[in-house]
Amino acid sequence: MSVTVNVENKLFQNRYKVDAGRPHIQIRQPDVCSNDCKDQACTFVCPAGCYKAEGNRTVTLITDGCLECGSCRVICTEHSNVAWEYPRGGHGILFKFG
């Protein structure tokens, strides 16, 4: 069964208060993603599609659509390359229904 999904369309329905310029999650060492991580599982496991595999094997992270689940940190066991904090109080995803 082939279904193509644009996760941005889903995230568009959500309410966020983005903490501009202060991402609450960061890739510690981008080189590690490019050179040492074969699977780059974050690029398909993240339920908000925050991690993108670029053509040149780099991984980019944009946290604006983050649902604050924690999956990216938990799966990055071999490299512990995800510095993960909750957003500052009042920022981030604001679930209307939850």
Partner 1 sequence: MTQEKFDVIVVGAGPSGNAAAYTAAKAGLSVLQIERGEYPGSKNVQGAILYSDALERIIPDFREDAPLERHIIEQRMWMLDDTSFVGTHYRSEDYNKPPYNRYTIIRAQFDKWFSSKVREAGALVVCETTVEELLLDGQRVIGVRCDRLGGDVFADVVILADGVNSTLARKAGFHGEIAAGNVALAVKEILFLPEEVIQQRFNLKEEEGVVIELLGTVTDGMVGTGFLYTNKDSLTIGVGCMLSDFKANPNRTSPYTLLERLKSHPSIAPLIDGGEMKEYCAHLIPEGGFNAIPRIYGDGWMIVGDSGGFVNAAHREGSNLAMTTGRLAAETVITAKAAGLEMNAKTLKGYKDRLDESFVMKDLHKYRRMPEVLHKNPQFFTQYPELVSRAARTLFTVNGVDKRTKEREIAASFRQTRSLTGLIKDAFNVWRAVR
Task: List interacting residues with partner 1 (CB under 8 A).
Answer: 1, 3, 5, 7, 10-11, 13-14, 17, 39, 41, 44-49, 67-71, 73-75, 77, 85-90, 92-98
d(CA 28, CA 84): 10
Residue 24 or 30 having the CB closest to partner 1: 24
Residue 23 or 92 having the CB closest to partner 1: 92
* Number of Cα atoms under 13 Å in the Cβ half of residue 12: 5
Residue 10 or 31 having the CB closest to partner 1: 10
Residue 14 to residues 29, 75, 91, 94, 98, Cα–Cα distance (Å) = 30, 25, 13, 8, 10
User: What secondary structure letter does DSSP report for 32?
Assistant: H
- Minimum distance between the CB of residue 35 and partner 1, rounded to whole angstroms? 19
